[in-house]
Chains A and B, each alone.
Chain A
Amino acid sequence: MVLKAFFPTCCVSVDSGLLVGRWVPEHSSAVVLAVLHFPFIPIQVKQLLAQVRQASQVGVAVLGTWCHCRQEPEESLGRFLEGLGAVFPHEPWLQLCRERGGTFWSCEVTHRQAPAAPSAPGEDQVMLIFYDQRQVLLSQLHPPTVLPDRQAGATPASTGGLAVVFDTVARSEVLFRSDRFDEGPVRLSHWQSEGVEASILVELARRASGPVCLLLASLLSLVSAIGACRKANTVASVLLDVALGLTLLSWLHGRSRIGHLADALVPVADHVAEELQHLLQWLMGAPAGLKMNRALDQVLGRFFLYHIHLWISYIHLMSPFVEHILWHVGLSACLGLTVALSLLSDIIALLTFHIYCFYVYGARLYCLKIHGLSSLWRLFRGKKWNVLRQRVDSCSYDLDQLFIGTLLFTILLFLLPTTALYYLVFTLLRLLVVAVQGLIHLLVDLINSLPLYSLGLRLCRPYRLAGKCCVLDSCPWAGGGEPHLWALQKQGQHRPLCLRPGSRGRHEQVGREDRASQSQRSAGPAASRSWRDSSAGAGSDTGRSRPQAFVLLLWDFLGLGA
């Protein structure tokens, strides 16, 4: 039979040591419960294991060695580990090894005695299965039907192999009481080594708010029925968005606030235009004590003033319709708060359109001036820009070319301060508007990408789960062929554990699918599609702030587009 070694995922990155667990000969499975680190005294280890055996009625023993080589593989360590087999006799003796960076795994099984029955061909196959210890510990498996002719205490021999694994892990709680960080004779690494809850405040809050947690847990189970972590986060954000939007809608439509808003809008636009006119008058005079070129100043100033005058007339033309428009825009808040905010950002852009126009005119003029200046400066020095060769070449100009060129250069140079000042002022105004819009977009992104589902999971983890299945991720051995590496994981909080092959190719560090703590730590983009709904990250769409983002999310959620 294939030898199955169940290894906890929390021990994948720990240092070398001994494998402590239980060997089930009927199913040819070795369930590793913890890793015991060096240095240790064998007598104390044997004492601890005897205590655990007595307390939990589980036959724990030292099953083999675990070797994690971070740098070059050490020869002496390898021989030392082999020698440990003599100190802790166990049949069969497992030697698991993980090399450099975790891309290569190896597993050797040594049988000390000759097997009693002749082994069938292919018996040397080993299957390494990773399992998430906390989830296996806290989940329940359906008990096998108790047969009538057996006593109530004895475990039926026809129990499935996986039920034995679940049972072993669940009954070995005594072993998990001491940790590698505790001061004791023996240092063990298991699921408790990662820390159950880092913040005592969160634990206390969770204890205090029992019914709230229950309610949240039931809501989360509804959301998680939709899909795995990433989709659930999206769904939770959309739901929050719509809830906030409906609140905003009810606030806006009560007590004719829209009317007040519409009444205030036109005077505000007028006020802004007046301020702009004052600014232009200031620029046309002697701004900050600088002396401008009077003629150019007057031309530019009058041009911009006329522009503002046109804009004001346009606003006054629109004023009867403003209330209707605002009413319909307010109605769009029922699609979500982000939609309303995006529309607000667009309205700001429309209302400050004249500032944008001024910026464009100023920028164009300035750009032309700078180009002209640089070209004439080259002429002044006797050089030319070679378009073919894309470099500056020397050129001999005629006298009249030089004369006119120098004249124009002087004119442009002395007109530069005026243009530069207009450009600077309007760029600053435009930056102000862009900053306001940017803040709104930031708010929208925050609402969209807050990982509410993962946060909720962390706060109120619903534990109890009854299912018959196990999640497995597969990663091939280095060097192809057998044996195969599998990982036992849970897919969702309220769904049965199930088998899932993952990406092929290099062995990646097993993705902790639904570990809410993990997903909180890594709030980056979601994992690739090859892990099929597995995700360690929160929302991925940071750039989506417009209403069309909402439509795309809905499309994705319905699965019609993919």
Chain B
Amino acid sequence: MEDERSFSDICGGRLALQRRYYSPSCREFCLSCPRLSLRSLTAVTCTVWLAAYGLFTLCENSMILSAAIFITLLGLLGYLHFVKIDQETLLIIDSLGIQMTSSYASGKESTTFIEMGKVKDIVINEAIYMQKVIYYLCILLKDPVEPHRISQVVPVFQSAKPRLDCLIEVYRSCQEILAHQKATSTSP
């Protein structure tokens, strides 16, 4: 079962949340971030080229202009490969674990998998981010030494940054699975 809804992120951009319900013990949430906008791309390119032209008028060396073109191209490639995240996915499987995948615009994918034994809970936290107060979903991990303490907080959907309404949807589904998992698990 699959359904798609659109939400907005903390800056007002449009996000698409795709929920896939494979079985009562397995859900997947896929958040698609807004695309690289042509406006920002043009703005950055123009700034770089204007700066290069300014330098050129000072130095009278045409290598600066070629260098500016190369820098723009390489910068764009680097941005697409290392910075721009297209899609973030959260896959939660009862009794196996939780996996977070980020796929970049260049096709690169980076994943993190957390086993269910290490997960204590999934909560929505409030945080002060620059001048805003935002909500974010995070996974609390157990401390191996003392099971009642929390060793790590892993935030989810860090680059998509959805708003509270989207987070509540994801939170509810995850809690259903975690509750089921806690009821049937044998370890404390």
A558 to B105, CA, bound (A): 7
Which residues of chain B have C-beta atoms less than 8 A from A228's C-beta?
A: 107, 109
The 8 Å CB contact of A160, one of B24, B93, B112, B118, is: B118
- Of residues 108 through 122 on chain B, the ones whose CB sits less than 8 Å from some CB of chain A are 108-113, 115-118
- A558 close to B99 (CB less than 8 A): no
- Checking A144, A227, A482, A486 against B24 with a beta-carbon cut-off of 8 angstroms, the contacting residue is A482
Contact of A491 with B by CB under 8 A: yes
Is the beta-carbon distance between A559 and B80 smaller than 8 angstroms?
Answer: yes
Which 7 pairs show the lowest CB-CB distances between chains A and B?
A469-B113, A498-B111, A227-B107, A499-B99, A160-B115, A2-B95, A559-B105
Chain A residues in 8 Å Cβ range of B112:
468-469
* A123 partner residues in chain B, CB cutoff 8 A: 184
Q: Point out the residue from B91, B94, B107, B113 that lies within 8 Å of A2, measured CB to CB.
A: B94
Which chain A positions have C-beta within 8 A of B72?
none
| Contact indicator B108/A226 (Cβ below 8 Å) | yes
Q: Which size bracket describes the interface of B in this complex?
A: 35 or more
Q: Is the CB of A304 closer than 8 A to any CB of chain B?
A: no
Q: Does A351 contact B (CB under 8 A)?
A: no
B180 within 8 A of A: yes
Which A residues lie within 8 Å of B96 (CB)?
4, 127, 129, 161-162, 472, 486
Which residues of A line the B interface, CB within 8 A?
Answer: 1-2, 4, 26, 28, 120, 122-123, 125, 127, 129, 144-145, 147, 158, 160-162, 225-228, 231, 468-470, 472, 474, 476, 481-484, 486, 491, 495-501, 504, 533, 557-560
A482 and B107 form a contact (CB under 8 A): no
| A559–B107 touching, CB < 8 Å | yes
Interface contact B186-A144, CB-CB below 8 Å: no
Contact of B144 among A4, A145, A162, A227 (CB under 8 A): A145
Instruction: Say if the beta carbon of B26 comes within 8 Å of chain A.
Output: yes
Chain A residue nearest in CB terms to B30 = A501
Q: Which residues of A contact B95 (CB under 8 A)?
A: 1-2, 4, 28, 127, 161
Closest chain B residue to A558 by CB distance? Answer: B80
Contacts of B76 in A (CB 8 A): 558
Q: Which of B22, B77, B117 contacts A161 (CB 8 A)?
A: B117
Report A458 CB to chain B, min CB distance, Å. 22
Q: Say if the beta carbon of B185 comes within 8 Å of chain A.
A: yes
- Which of B23, B183, B187 is A120 in contact with, Cβ under 8 Å? B183
Cβ-based interface call for B145 (8 A): yes
- Chosen A-B contacts, 17 in total, with CB atoms closer than 8 Å, are A1-B185, A1-B186, A4-B95, A120-B184, A122-B184, A125-B25, A161-B116, A225-B108, A227-B109, A482-B25, A491-B111, A496-B113, A498-B101, A558-B77, A558-B80, A559-B86, A559-B105
Return the contact of B108 from the options A162, A227, A468, A476 (Cβ within 8 A). Answer: A227
**Distance in Å from the Cβ of B181 to the closest Cβ of chain A?**
9
Contacts of A158 in B (CB 8 A): 117, 144, 187
Q: Given A120-B183, A161-B117, A558-B106, are A482 and B111 also a contact pair (CB < 8 Å)?
A: no
Q: Which residue of B lies closest to A25 (CB)?
A: B186
Measured between beta carbons, the chain A residues less than 8 angstroms from B113 are 468-470, 496-499
B20 within 8 A of A: yes
CB <8 Å contact, A484 and B108: no
Known: A127-B96, A469-B111. A474 touches B26 (CB 8 A): yes
Other-chain contact of B184, A1, A127, A226, A469 (Cβ < 8 Å): A1
Inter-chain contacts of A231 with B (CB < 8 A): 107
Q: Is B153 interfacial (CB-CB < 8 Å)?
A: no
